[in-house]
Amino acid sequence: MAACVVLHAAGLTFALRWLERSLGALRRGSWQRLRLLIGVAALTVVVHLVEITVWAVYFAAKGAMPDLDSALYFSAVTYTTTGYGDLVLPEGWRLAGGIEALTGILMCGWSTGFFFAIFNQIFIRDTGVRAPAGEAGGGS
């Protein structure tokens, strides 16, 4: 779990620095905004895939999964809380699966907040309009 937090912080910091460099060249009304959002989304997905891989390597190395392919599949399904249940950890390892799922929820939430903040900054930079407090999500 700690490795995921460190990887996530490093990955999002890298994305933020890349974005800061890119925002300097952003023109109003350009398609560059979309390119930046796609870039941030892609970098964020890569960070999640690295974290999933870390869990998978751990499970495979400790013998909790029969091979790395199974461990990668199990880890992706667990981290994303999809939870098909077709592969399960041995009884003594099941708590680790729950911790991975909780970590995945936390990291995905962190990514969502990060992405929203980036989108908001790009929107403000492009339009000069700030959303009133409580309406930043677009209302219901």
Residues 77 and 69: their CA atoms lie apart, in Å, by: 12
Helix and strand element counts for the chain (H, E): 4, 0
**116-135, pLDDT tens digit by residue?**
998 888 777 666 666 566 55
**The pTM is what?**
0.82
Domains of the chain: 38-126 (1.10.287.70)
> What does the buried/exposed string (b/e) look like for 21-59 if buried means 16 or more CB atoms within 10 Å of the residue's CB?
eeeeebeeeeebbeebeeebeebbeebbeebbbbbbebb
**What number of residues does the chain have?**
140
Print pLDDT tens along the chain (140 aa). 999 999 999 999 999 888 888 777 666 666 777 888 898 999 999 999 999 999 999 999 999 999 999 999 999 999 999 989 899 999 999 999 999 999 999 999 999 999 999 888 877 766 666 656 655 555 44
